[in-house]
Structure 1
Amino acid sequence: MDENFIHSSLKTEDKSFELPLRPICLEEFVGQENIKERLHIFIGAAKKRNDSLGHMLFSGPPGLGKTTIANIIAKTMNTNIVVTSGPIVEKPGDLAGVLTSLKDGDILFIDEIHRLNKAIEEYLYPAMEDFTLDLLID
């Protein structure tokens, strides 16, 4: 699989500086109190059921903490997070590669999902709803 489709949200040279500054739990995250309260409930319920969280959509302008919250959820749920970006998922095969790389319980974070190609969205819907992926291979 092309590593351009799955990437860390930080450049290697930035990680040593920025990661210690990012909150690693909801208690350290400043702001978004309503969202944090709901996430505590969702995460607690999922853990009691020994289940994954349902699908979530974080929306808002840059800098509000969408990526940070996704990483906090992954850490709190003790699972991996796979990060990709909407604009680089150009073909159904790209999406298939990302989805098939996921392990049970992994979190998929698609940054800039609003820039995802409409044709690709049509493949994403059944993957999210039914956990199936229908592809036609030539």
Structure 2
Amino acid sequence: MKKCQEVDERILLTFVGYLLSIGTMIISNHLQENDQKNKIQSKAQEELADLNAQLKEFENNLRPKNMNAYIGQKKVVRQLKLIIDSANIRSVLPEHIMFYGQPGLGKTTLASLISNELGAHLKTIAAPALQKSGDVVSLLINMEPNTILLLMKFIDSKHLWKR
């Protein structure tokens, strides 16, 4: 009887060892699969970031670098040149300039050109990032000197004024 118990215990221990080995292999394979998935995901994110950087560079290469290179909106460009020249003579940034219109008309490009011409930093903020009117105040208080602020779709975002 004792020998039978010892044999049963050995068989049981062997079986448990076998199960542990199988479990270890399954966990190891799972970890390797997760590691491979993470590597693939990480590589995809890097490639996406690289493509976004290339797209931004491509867009920047298409944009004019100064007001003289801007095509279209002749009346607006002429008025902006006067504002820029006046601001440069006085060594101050213009108080307020508001652009409005449909997407693709050059509002952001003009804002970028103004900042380039004035040697100022352009800070672009999308209106949805501003959750309440206090966010606007905080943004203005914390602005660096010599910074031009571009609020995108600010007037259309009436939700800001309800709070």
The TM-score with structure 1 as length reference comes to 0.72
The letter of the residue matching 1:24 is K
* Percent identity over paired residues: 28
For the residues of structure 2 that align with 1:110 and 1:103, how far apart are their CA atoms? 16
RMSD: 2.1
Q: Is 1:99 aligned to 2:144, yes or no?
A: no
Task: Name the structure where helix makes up a greater proportion of residues.
Answer: 2
Q: Please tell me whether Structure 1 or Structure 2 has the larger radius of gyration of its CA atoms.
A: 2
What secondary structure does 1:113 align onto?
coil
Q: 1:134 aligns to what?
A: none
SS at match of 1:115: coil
The question of 1:32 aligning with 2:32 is answered no
1:13 positional shift: 4.4
User: How many aligned residue pairs are there?
Assistant: 112
Residue 82 of structure 1 corresponds to: 123
Shift of 1:17: 1.5
Work out the CA distance in 1 between the residues paired with 2:133 and 2:75: 36
Q: Which runs of 4 or more aligned residues in structure 1 lie more than 6 Å from their structure 2 counterparts after TM superposition?
A: none
Name structure 1 gaps, 5 residues minimum: 1-10, 124-138
The C-alpha deviation readout for 1:24-57, integer Å capped at 9, x for no partner, is 1111111000011111111101111111112011
Quote the offset at 1:122 in angstroms: 8.7
Q: TM-score, normalised by structure 2?
A: 0.62
Q: Which runs of 5+ in 2 are unaligned?
A: 1-51
Kept in 1, the 8 Å contact 2:120–2:148? The answer is yes
Give yes or no for contact 1:89–1:116 (8 Å, CA) kept in 2. Answer: no
